[in-house]
Amino acid sequence: MEHACAPAVRGVVSDILIVDDHPLYSDALESALEIVFDAPTIRKAQNLADALNEAKTGFAPELVMFDLKLPDVSGISGFESLREQLPDAKILVVSSLASFDLVQSLLKRGASGFLPKDTPASGLRKALADIVEGRTYVPKDYQTPDYSPESIEVFDHPKLAELTPQQKRIMRLICCGKPNKQIAYELSLAEATVKAHITALLRRLGVHNRTQAVVMVEGVMASQRGAEPEARAFLMQ
């Protein structure tokens, strides 16, 4: 990680816990945090057990920088254990392991944000600024998918490319969870017309229902985002 040189976020966070089993990265992260914040107290742990012990000693960090892949952790259970032990801390997950589903799962479990390990110092400062101000930080690649007709149109998938512009609009609203009545209202169509379009697009996609159509779209999006098989396996542990 390169050193931070831009103006710091000062006087906001005083106690920080870094949980990472790679000493070089942990030291680099510590140096960056000392520049971003004004004289913080920083403690480090190389595994989950040490992190939990820090909390049990009475150390109550306002910010935790947490690596998912630790020697004594299987899946996201380590994050859940730390979240339970430090319910008031803002936890920024910093990991080389990433996928949309994994990041969204962490956010649902109370993470304040996610940062890939190859993020430059400017990205670290942006993430920290958002988090200390009460916002959630998620890189664009891991945010809620763009279901616009234009995004569906550029998917590298022959069946999706065959959809008509109106079918793409309807597919977007299906992906957003809208029922037929709402789709009809938003597109100024009769509900019977919407049903006819859905029947046609399901046939064109070669699927039997709306759920299968959404799974197809999300699968293509995951493939284009380069979702890592290791991250999917990690989520299932």
Q: Which domains does the chain have, with CATH numbers?
A: 15-142 (3.40.50.2300), 149-225 (1.10.10.10)
How far CA 183 is from CA of 19, 146, 168, 195, in Å, comes to 46, 17, 12, 10
pLDDT for residue 118 is more than 60? yes
State if pTM tops 0.75: no
Give the residue, 219 or 153, on which the prediction is more confident: 219
pLDDT at 233: 57
Average pLDDT for 135-141: 86
The per-residue pLDDT for range 178-191, each reduced to its tens digit, is 899 999 999 999 99
Long-range CB contacts (< 8 A, 24+ apart) of 200-206?
A: 200/167, 201/163, 201/167, 201/170, 201/171, 204/159, 204/162, 204/163, 204/167, 205/159, 205/160, 205/163, 206/159
The per-residue pLDDT for range 50-62, each reduced to its tens digit, is 999 998 898 999 9
Share of the chain above pLDDT 70, in %: 81
